[in-house]
Amino acid sequence: MTKRSEDEVSTEEFPPRPPTPPSPSSPHFLFVVDDVRYEAVGELEVRSNGEKLLKAERRVADGVLAGPCLVRRIATPSTYMMRTRLIEEVQLAFRLNHPNIAQVFHMQVDEEADAPFAVMEYVGGPSLETLVTAALVRGKPLSEGFALYVGAEVADALHYAHTLTSEEGVPLGIVHRDVSPRRLALGPHGEVKVLDFGAAYSLMVGREESPENLLRGDVAYASPEYLRKEGLTPRSDVFSLGVLLVEVLTSKHLFEVHDVPVVASKETRFVTESPPTLPLQQMQALMETFTPDVVEKAVAHLSEDLKAVLHTALRLNPEERFATAADMRDALRGVAHAQLRAPYGRAEAAKEAALVVSEGGVLRDQVEFGEAGLYPDGLEKHELGLPKKE
């Protein structure tokens, strides 16, 4: 048997190596916009639908760095309707200019990869999902001061979006419909940022509607009326923010889905756009039995004033909730003013977040969990800042 030359060796025996991920020492060129060069310096997350979140640097004249940004490499839409909706989502995001909303700068198409990129503000701190998880690991929830501060900041951003109008003064009717820990983050100085209005509903003229049976966003934080597809209003986001705050204050989700069996005969006609953190069918079943007693059981240890805010936000009937997110913001700030011994703002939030991440990160390898990967996939390296375990 003769020895084969290198040219004759099958490439199947030596499959190509996967591309090296970008790093500050080995950045990957992305594109140029208005003479600004964008280079990926880190891969933060790869989502189940093929989207990638990349940390990038901008280089201006003479190669000078102009600061980091976030580049979202969007999965290429497969249909005209999906492409139309994607364009309208970016157009909607361009209109949002608020200190508590991560800014979307522009959209760019990579001609070689035939893939769209959205260039957004980079928020250097942890997501709320990571903070809640770290608090759970360390065995102590985030403080009431933290929850009141974050809740008021998010409510302020939501009220801004809810009341935004077109250039002609026509209300855009924006509802976020995905107010969840995944969509909120803390900046390096403790500033609160709503990260993504990609699932937002709007009355904007020409906006492509989601299919009737498609539920967008994480249904674990969805309002009862949204799960029943009965229409969306700003009060739907108020309910979602209430669910989120219960989790921040208790390290537990408001709804205990493991107690609800899945009934095969009651299969839902709805589909979700991405995997929810809690099963859709159980969430729908729980909403059928949802009462103020469920809320009271979860928040019984909190102060009466804070409980009152949460009870109002979490009413089953939307008409019984806060009429606007601004009303909820003012109520949260009122509780903070009355109960906190000292003002709680950005500096205090940044300090608490750093402590929680540090304590939770140290303990996560010492605790046994029922499933692997308690920390959010793809986020823990850049958010926790911990050395990689060999």
Query: What six digits make up the tokens of 109?
Result: 């198409």
Instruction: Name, of 230-239, 313-322, 377-386, the range with top average pLDDT.
Output: 313-322
CA distance 342 to 113: 53
Q: CB-side exposure of 267: number of CA atoms within 13 Å?
A: 4
Average pLDDT, the chain: 80
Domain presence at residue 12:
no
**What percentage of the chain reaches a pLDDT higher than 90?**
38
- Residue 219, domain CATH: 1.10.510.10
Crossing angle (nearest 10°) for helices 304-313 and 292-299: 140
Q: How many domains does the chain have?
A: 2
Query: What six digits make up the tokens of 305?
Result: 């004033």
Asked if 274 contacts 182 with a C-beta cutoff of 8 angstroms, the reply is: no
Taking the chain, what is the end-to-end CA distance rounded to the nearest angstrom? 44
Domain presence at residue 243:
yes
Query: What six digits make up the tokens of 46?
Result: 């790869």
Nearest alpha-carbon partner for 237 in 147, 325, 326: 325
Confidence (pLDDT) at 46: 76
- Whether residue 156 sits in one domain with residue 113: no
pLDDT in tens, 94-148: 788 999 999 888 877 665 556 678 888 999 889 999 999 999 989 999 999 999 9
- Whether residue 148 sits in one domain with residue 89: no
- Whether residue 163 sits in one domain with residue 64: no
- Whether residue 72 sits in one domain with residue 148: no
Domain-ending residue, one of 89, 120, 151: 120
- Residue 98, domain CATH: 3.30.200.20
Nearest alpha-carbon partner for 144 in 305, 383, 296, 313: 305
Q: Which residue would you say has higher pLDDT here, 374 or 197?
A: 197
Give pTM, 2 decimals. 0.82
- Whether residue 258 sits in one domain with residue 147: yes
Domain presence at residue 41:
yes
Q: Which residue would you say has higher pLDDT here, 282 or 250?
A: 250
Query: What six digits make up the tokens of 363?
Result: 């303990």
Average pLDDT over residues 235-253: 96
In which domain, by residue range, is 287 found? Answer: 128-360
Domain presence at residue 232:
yes
- Whether residue 309 sits in one domain with residue 237: yes
By residue count, the chain amounts to: 390
Nearest alpha-carbon partner for 142 in 252, 9, 221: 252
Confidence (pLDDT) at 370: 32
The alpha-carbon radius of gyration of the chain (Å, integer) is: 23
- Whether residue 265 sits in one domain with residue 169: yes
